[in-house]
Structure formats: C-alpha cells, structure tokens
Structure 1
Amino acid sequence: MSTDALDTDARARDDADPLRGYRALFHGVDDTDVVSYLDGNSLGRPTIAAAEAITVAVAQWSGRLIRGWDEQWFDLPLTIGDRLGAVALGAAPGQTTIGDSTTVLLYKLARGALAMRPDRTEIVLDTDNFPTDRYVLEGIAAELGLELRWIRVDPASGVDPDAAREAVTERTALVVLSHVAYRSGYLADAEAITRAAHEVGALVLWDLCHSVGSVPVELDRWRVDFAVGCTYKYLCGGPGSPAFAYVRADHLGEFVQPVWGWMGRRDPFEMGPGYVPAEGIRRVVSGTPAVLGMIAMQSTVDLIDQAGIEAVRTKSVRLTEYVIELTGALLPRVRIASPLDPERRGGHVTLDHPRFREILPRLWSRGVIPDFRAPQGLRLGPSPLSTCFAEVLTGIRAIAGELGHLGP
C-alpha cells in the first residue's frame, strides 16, 4: 500500500471509530512534541477533567481543612473502589478498596490468603510474571518457609488452563498470575484457571495491572478470590496513583492482612488497645490514604462507564490488530512477540528486534513513545480512549525509518 493510501486508510479508520470523540477529552493529544504516544499500558494520558478535579480537591482542602475527612475523604477509598468495581471489575459493592502501591497490596493479599490455607505449603506462579509479583512471592516464601512452584512459559505467550491445572496440587495454597502478561500481552483465561485452582482447594490472586480499563473483567462471575491492580495505566490516575485491592465478599469475614494500621481497625477513632480488623473491605486499609492521588482516576472511570467496557475492548482489539497489520507491511524483519489471536491478546503488542534498545532514544527524541522490555522487545500500548489510528501509523512509520537508518 502506498504512503498516500496508508494515510487515507488511517483517516478512514478514525472517521469510522465510534469512540473518536473521547480523544479530545485528554490533555496533550495535539501536542506537537509527542506525535505518537504508544505507552498507555505504562502511563495513561491525563484527562482534562482530572486536572479540574485536582484543582477542586485542593480548594476543598483549603476551605474545609480537617473537616474534609468527615465529609468525604475517610470513605473515599471505598466509594471509589465500589465505582471502579462496578464499571471495570465486575465486582459488587463492598469488595474493592483503593490505597497503597500494587507491591504493598500484593503482599497484603498474598499473606492474608496464605493464612487462610495454613496446612498447605506451595505457591504457584509463572516464570514470566511481572518482576514485582515474583519478588514479593519469593520474599513471602522465604519468610514463611513455603515452596514456590513455577509454571515455565514462553515469554511470547502466557499461562493457559492446562498448564495451571498441571501445576496445582493438593499442597497448593495460592496461585498468583497476571490476567494480561506484561511482556507479551497474553490474555489468560481467568475464569478457567480460577476454576482449576478451586478444584484442588487453592485460592487465586490475579494481577490486573495490564487489563483493568482495557479488557472486560468479571471478578464476581469468575469467582475470583483476590485481585490487585494499578490505576496509572488505562485508568489514567497519574504517576504513582494508588492501586486497588479486591477481596471476594465471602472471604472478608476470615481474611486478615498483615499490615495492621489504625484506619483498618474496627472503631479506629477509639484509639484503643489491640488490633481488631474492621468489618468488610475496610480491613484491607492500613494507614491514611493518598486522597489527592486517587482523585484523577475518577474521571477516566466515568469515561469508561460512558463508553462501555465492551466498546473499549472492541477499539483496543482494532488498534492492536492495526499494529500487527502495519508491522507486517512496514517492518518485515521484526518479529511479533504477542498472540495473534485477539481472544488471547490484551491491550498491547510486543515487537522483537535486536536493535530496538538502540533506537528507543531516537524514537523518543522524535516524539514517538513506546517502551522497551529486555532483551529486545518494543511494547506498543495504544490506549483505546485517547489513541487514534493515525497516531499508530505515525509510530510504526517512525520505527521503520529508524530501523532503515541503522541498516538490516
């Protein structure tokens, strides 16, 4: 296809996109410095409404001062958690809270889950899970004297139900996997894998960092035990925005997390002796929540609700299919290291080439922003509400140009 034909095709795709109007609701989309932002799976663009909401929050802080805690802030982790659960997690109220980093919440949920299976000795995880997940679980296993049972996977794919079923045993206490693999974008069959773990009495903790906000999630329907995820990728909460935790309702009476803080205690303002966990999902909370840090994500949750998560997923599939199509046309020496089947692919595509580490700084200097994952992967993560097809074409062309400049 000629250059003009590619441009015409990209414009036609954008004109036909039912979500095209959402792009204008984000800051920076017409920035001449960044011509192709393809890293929404690492850090989403801010919405215009988020900036306004933060300004309002600062005004509330200034005007209401300490009264803000009684009027709104104290319950904000739970109210935003319920909203996120309803819009993007398939979770009924009272099971989701916002607060802490993903790392801290992984530790809290994993330790609390393991305490619910005290007679079991194994944790199942995979060799290509995100480093934080692996490191946290390695630390917990060393702390408690447990065995790690590794599922070895191809970095270009992920854990399927058969591999999970083969790995779990009657000794397995907890299975920890990512719904969308951070490297390949492989989309796991969470429902089937959860069922396989439950068949042997194990609990399951899903990392939703690379799926929440781009892939439909049905935690309640899938009977997931625990889930955790960050809010700065497709939820556009901003750098360092607090993560979320989900604990299935029928576990809340038994679940006790290990970081005991005053805000997670029953009757916290009594300041009494001894720790008694609060009723419900509040028991996951430890200390004072990052109120300003959880403000920005609310506008994106509202946009996902307006658009509908199924429509967001449809746009995401179309964008990643377009990446794959353009790779075949313009990057013949590049290997696609993500599933080609859209049913098994999340919201990003990883491309492999031995010179990608070398060209990344040159791409960034041109305003083309993917990210790099060792040993030779370039991740392209278009964000469905803020990325247009013409932007993807600009990015792929720039990659082709840099590879051509460097030679074969």
Structure 2
Amino acid sequence: MNRKLLGMFLSTSLVASSVITIPGMAQAKSIDDIRAEKAATNAEKQKKQSEIEKLKSEQQAVKNQIAKIDSQMAKTSDEIVAKQEEIAKKEEEIEKLKKDIEELEIRIAERDKLLKERVASMQVNGAVNYLDVLLGSQSFGDFLDRVLALNIIADQDRTIIEEQKADLEALEKKKQEVEEIRNKIQNELESLKKLRNELKAQLEEKDRLSNELASEEEDLHDELGEIEHQAQILAAEEAAYIQQKKEEEAARKRAEEAARKQASAAKQSNVASAASSPSSVKSGSSPSGSSSSSAPEVSHSSSSGFIMPASGRFTSSFGSRVHPISGRVKNHNGVDIANSIGTPIRAAASGKVIYAGTMSGYGNTVMIAHTINGKSYTTLYAHMSAFSVRNGQSVSQGQQIGKIGNTGASTGPHLHFEVHPGGYKNPVNPMQFL
C-alpha cells in the first residue's frame, strides 16, 4: 500500500515536472539539439571571420589600387591646370597681336589715304616733269637745290610705299600667327577635354572600387551580424533550457518530498487504524483516493491567440524591401509599428521570456516563447527604448514588456515585431495573427 501510494505521488511529480516547459522550445529541441546548433553557428561565425580577414587582405590591394588612381588623378589635375595656364597665356598673346594688328591697320589706312591724295593731286595738276624743273633753274646752286628737292620727294614716296608694303606684310604675318595660336588653343582644348574625361574615368573607377569594397565588407558584416544574432538566441535558449531543467528538478524534489510526507502520514494512519479496527486494511484505501484527487492541477497557456503588441501605424510590411539604412534590397522578417518613444509594448500572447537584452542591429530586444492551441510560437520585439522583463520570466497576454524606442539599426522610433511558428528561425508575416 505504501509503495503504491509513493509510486502514485512520484508519478504525479513526474507529470508535474513534464509540464513545466518552455513553450515552443522544450519539446521541439533538446539540449543536445541546441548545443549542436551552437557548435554549427560558432563554426559558421569563425568561417565568416576568416572571410572578413581575407577580405581585409584583398581590401589592402584595392586600397593600393585606389592610391595609385589618386596619384594618377593628381597628375591629371596638374596637367589640366598646366593646360589651362598655357591656354590663358596663348589667349594673352592673341590679345597683344590683336592690338598690333589694330595699330597696323590704322597706319595702313592713313598711308592709303595719303597715297590716294597724292595720286589725285597728280591727276589734277598733271605729272611733274623733272627735266623742266631742272632746266628752269636760275643758277647752278638753284639747280642743285632743285635736284635735292626732287630726290627728297622721290625718297619720301619710296619710304611711304616701302613702309606700307612692310606693314601689310606684318599685318598678314600677325594674322597668320593669331590663326596658328588659335589652332594651338583648339588642340589644347581638345587635350584638356581628353584629360578631363580621363579624370572622370579615374574618379568613376575609384568610386566603383570603393563601393565594391564597402558592399563586400557590409555583406560579410551583415552575415556575421546574423550569425552572432543566431548565437545570442541559441545561448538564450540554452540558458532557458538549463533553467527549465533546474525548475523541473526542484519541482520533482518538492513532489517527492510531498509524496514521502503523504506516504508517512498514510502509514501512521494505517497503523492507528489497524490497532483500533480489524477493517483497517479495507479502509486504508481512502487516503490513496484522496491523495489522487488532491494532486496539483496543471496550468495551460492561454488559447486566445495574439493581440496587437503596440498602438501606432504600420510603416513597413513583411517581406522583401529596400533597407532604409543600407539602401539595398533585403528581407524584412517582421512588421514595423511606429509611435512615439515610450509607447507601451505588450506581450502578444502569454508565454515565457527566452531573451531580454541587446541584439546586433535590433537594439534592445525581447523574445517570448508561447504555446497557443497546442502549437508553439516565438515572438520578437525589437528597437525598444527599455524593457521591463527578464530571461525566464513568465508573462501574461497584454502585460507590458517594454517601451517603443529607436535603438539598434533604426531610422525612427518604432516596434519591429516578428512571429516564428515552431520556434525561432522560421519568420512568417505577423499580420495573419493580428
């Protein structure tokens, strides 16, 4: 009888301990599963870190290439400045030549006028007969004076004509120089255009290499961040699992102690009954029945489903989107609900907190495991300004667990909310539950 009673209470204690579980995790994963995932995640983390180190080595080569481009750009810029100075100098030469040409054209025009006047005078007065001028002299001295005068007039005419001829030749030469310099300037401008195109190409190549470098590094760091994120979750699950086992062990010991005390009380009652009445054996079954009916009742999680975790407006939906910070297309594993900092965040369903802390990219984050209608779920609440729960804490549906904030990779105060059926790493659109 005593053994039967003790066995009954031990069975009761095992039932009690078996229902002290972490919803969505305990029966889905064993501690070995969690540790195997941790080992795989750590191996993947080391692999990504090695890839980042390798990328850093490659980055140095690209940086050297960028430095070479910078040097080429500096040289090209110097050449552009030199070409611009050369063009400016040639333009000054053209301006000087233009002034010389203007002066020559003025002198030529004045001589043209003088020569035309002399020709017109000859036409009116007739041509000068040099022999008549000489024979008309009154004396030998007068003769010499007349010869000298005629020579002076002839020399003046020759000088005017020669100067006019020289100025016309100089004018033509200077015009030709201007044309040659203009052609050189045109060539310099073409060369300058080519240099500028080279500089543009060098800048584009530098930007391409820099962006490629930044993109590769960002991708790897994003992947590493995801791996670290997974490692945090697995560590939290492991800690929660260990806490669960401690609670189960404590419950088991309490149940065993209660069973022993009940069995001892029943034994003493049976002894007393045996001493007072021969029918004590028959009546001894009643404590067993009463102990069975007084076994602790198992509590179950709420089956009311999910509620809205915070008030506000939906600003980003589940699925593929352009990331507001990186500008790249990435998958959005939840929905964003925007509201002012400090707006209460509530548990979408009853469950147990499996993580409360800071996560890479998510800032202050809380994760809760639930069992609803026999199915397990994990919900995630990110970017909190503060959280008011701790790891391993049981929470009720609608209980405040934190406040809306702007922590982590966030562009404004909002709640990032995720739902993962069957445990973390299986995100679905939360809207189907809200």
* TM interval, short-chain normalised: under 0.3
Q: Which has the higher helix share?
A: 2
* Bigger-Rg structure (1/2): 2
What's the TM-score, normalizing by structure 1?
0.25
What's the TM-score, normalizing by structure 2?
0.23
